[in-house]
Amino acid sequence: MRGEERGKRPTRATRPGAGLRLLLAGTLVVLAAALAGGCSGGGKRTVVVLGPWTGNEAAAFTRTLDLLDDGTPYNYSYQGTSSLRETLVAQLEADAPPDVAILNSQGELQEYAREGALTPLTGDLASRAYPPWAPELVVNGSRHTYWVPLKVDIKSLVWTRTAQPVRPHSWCLGMSAQATTGWPGTDWIEDILLHRSGPQKYEQWATGALPWTSREVRDAWTTWASLMAGQDTRSALDIPYTGEGGKGLLNSGTCTEEHAGTFIRYLYGPDITFKPSADTIPGLGGHKDAYEVSGDMAAVFRDSPAAMRLLSRLAGPEGRKIWLAQAAPQLKPHFPSASDPQPTDPLGRKAATLLTGGTREAPTHELCFDASDTMPPTLRDAFQHAVLKFLSTPDSATQNRLLAQLEQERSRLAGAPALPEVCGSPAA
């Protein structure tokens, strides 16, 4: 849930300009020191995990850490914040990073790895760096894994009420989401491009090899505009993706279909179900065996055996089993491998089948990581702003102008290292 949201959160770890760095370091240095690892009153070393979860989701994760630190010489402390970017930057500027931080953006994580802020993972941790959530990177001539997925979600879904007649494409639209306002719109563009142009073109676009002015990208924006025709798009710019009061857009009584990932199920009860978007949205059936996914990935920012041990347990069967047991039914996390424990409710099992392939046999579909969370943060931010402008004026002139601006930013970033892969098969 971003803040409490799951998928894209306000986790912009891009280093800000010098003036903002000084401001953040000055105003948040006390918080950075408070969150940094150290010794507790009982003599145990405190291992700090910084992450985006608050509320009930944070409570379940905290209980998991409490159970994992039993019998160890460590206290595991979770610090959740909806201002993850600012907090993490302040800690780094104060030279007091957390032991482990959890982010959803591979673009940000790659920048940290290339800046030397992350510790390479080895052994069993490296073996759990399943694609497409954790590709290997070549940094300074050496190939390493720098993060592992802790929990994952599938996004290429359309949600409806099981007993409610569906009016033709009465879409629930809410674009507001605190610092990441606009991400529901980028999810639409990404899902459309994946299913109309296929995983190969999607990967080229996500990694900066396919221009924003290309036929495939233009087609995705045009298709989205046609799907939004007749919808109340202007109101959607101010409505939270969770609906008013966090009750879910499907509960508003004004719409009957919602394009969202599995993280949205915490807003609803058992009367809500989903279908793959390729089976529901007109014109998206060309590549039905591809799905967009997102994830929350953990990386070690303060190198120590204690941090590595904790991350190994969190990413392994012990931690995942405990976490699943501690979470409320609609907050039970999904994990990336078919060998991992998974939610047992009907919707949870259905989503797990799509995420993992369902068995250890050869998978029949492909998973592609959220494109905007793969892009460099400046391009991701520009993309999120562009979809809001386009939604307010969805004509061809606005589309051409926005795509030209995004292409200019892509060209400015040309030559910067890109992730080696964005799509992959479910982890057996």
Closest CA to 412 of 219, 216, 218, 212: 212
Number of domains in the chain: 1
Residue 139 lies in a domain: yes
CATH at residue 59: 3.40.190.10
Structure token digits, residue 302: 């303060």
Give the bridge partners for 290, in sequence order.
366
pLDDT score, position 408: 98
Domain of 56 in residue numbering reads as 18-153+294-340
421 burial via Cβ count (<10 Å: 0-12, 13-18, 19+): middle
Residue 210 lies in a domain: no
Residue 160 lies in a domain: no
In contact, 301 and 366? CB cutoff 8 Å: no
pLDDT score, position 415: 87
pTM: 0.89
Distance CA 33, CA 35 (A): 5
Residue 24 lies in a domain: yes
Residue 6 lies in a domain: no
In contact, 344 and 70? CB cutoff 8 Å: no
Backbone torsions φ then ψ of 27, nearest 5 degrees: -85, -25
Residue 59 lies in a domain: yes
What pLDDT tens digit does each residue of the chain (428 aa) get?
A: 443 343 443 333 334 443 434 334 444 444 444 444 555 545 789 999 999 999 999 999 999 999 999 888 999 999 999 888 788 989 999 999 999 999 999 999 999 999 999 999 998 999 999 999 999 999 999 999 999 999 999 999 999 988 766 666 789 999 988 767 899 999 999 999 999 999 999 999 999 999 999 999 999 999 999 999 988 888 899 899 998 888 899 998 889 999 999 999 999 988 999 999 999 999 998 899 999 999 999 999 999 999 999 999 999 999 999 999 999 998 999 999 999 999 999 899 999 999 998 544 445 789 999 999 999 999 999 999 999 999 999 999 999 999 999 999 999 999 888 999 999 999 86
Residue 10 lies in a domain: no
pLDDT score, position 395: 95
Under 8 Å CB-to-CB from 300, ≥6 apart: which residues? 99, 100, 118, 119, 121, 307, 308, 311
Residue 93 lies in a domain: yes
In contact, 296 and 261? CB cutoff 8 Å: no
